[in-house]
Amino acid sequence: MTVAIAVLISGNGSNLQAIIEAIPRDNINARIEVVISDQLAAKGLQRAQHVNISTAFIDPSEYQSRAEFDTALQGLLDEYAVQLIVLAGFMRILTDKFVLHYSGRLINIHPSLLPKYRGLNTHQRVLDEGEKYHGASVHFVVPELDAGPIILQQSVEVTAQDTRDSLQNKVHQIEHIIYPRVIHWFTAGRLSLENNIVLLDEHKINNNHN
């Protein structure tokens, strides 16, 4: 059975675009049922509409609290019977209750080699620290921000010529490879989270630094 996916975005949606293109190209057993944004102007919404994927905007200003927003979000995800939730540049912090409800079915991509550089502004911080390597990480989401068990990482080299923008470009390029790969694994039934441990083909993944 095809796996029903939701992709949550707040902005450009280049990762969403990469996933849209990878599904038919790589024979990924998934269907993006809905793309949801907390920003009406998110370019990713147009990218989805362009290929006839349903979209939804949930307006944070209509909710009194994070809990109420997340309840509305959960209602929508239930409506679409989603089996995997893909955070792709979704800039809202989700409540613990929401995260725990979707444990093992909620993944995120973060622009750093976690556990280094959690949080925002990673490219500039990597430059400021004079790091030789930077990269991206896909992980299962847990309540603690950017701290979930790592599924897949890839590094890029930082050169003396690199700027914030050039690093962002390099990281985006690898994100567009590793995120579809993880979705492929998950939808093929190869990937799971058991007792906070990532299993691929029933073996513990050994790139987990947490």
Question: Which residues sit at the interface with ligand GRF, rule CB under 6 A?
Answer: 9, 11-15, 88-89, 109-111, 136, 175
CB of 123 to ligand GRF, least distance (A): 9
CB of 157 to ligand GRF, least distance (A): 18
- What is the Cα–Cα distance from 6 to 83, expressed in whole angstroms? 8
- Name the residue among 139, 91, 84 with its Cα closest to residue 112: 139
- What is the Cα–Cα distance from 147 to 180, expressed in whole angstroms? 21
CB of 201 to ligand GRF, least distance (A): 26
What are the tokens at 156?
């890029």
Residue with the CB atom nearest ligand GRF in the bound state: 89
Q: Pinpoint the alpha helices (H) of 86-201.
A: 96-101, 122-128, 164-187
Instruction: Supply the residues annotated as catalytic.
Output: 110
- Residues 153, 207 contacting (CB under 8 angstroms): yes
Chain position carrying tokens 């567009």: 176
CB of 146 to ligand GRF, least distance (A): 9
| Cβ proximity to ligand GRF, 28 vs 88, nearer residue | 88
- Sheet containing 203-204: which strands, arranged edge to edge? 191-194, 197-200, 203-204
- What is the Cα–Cα distance from 155 to 136, expressed in whole angstroms? 7
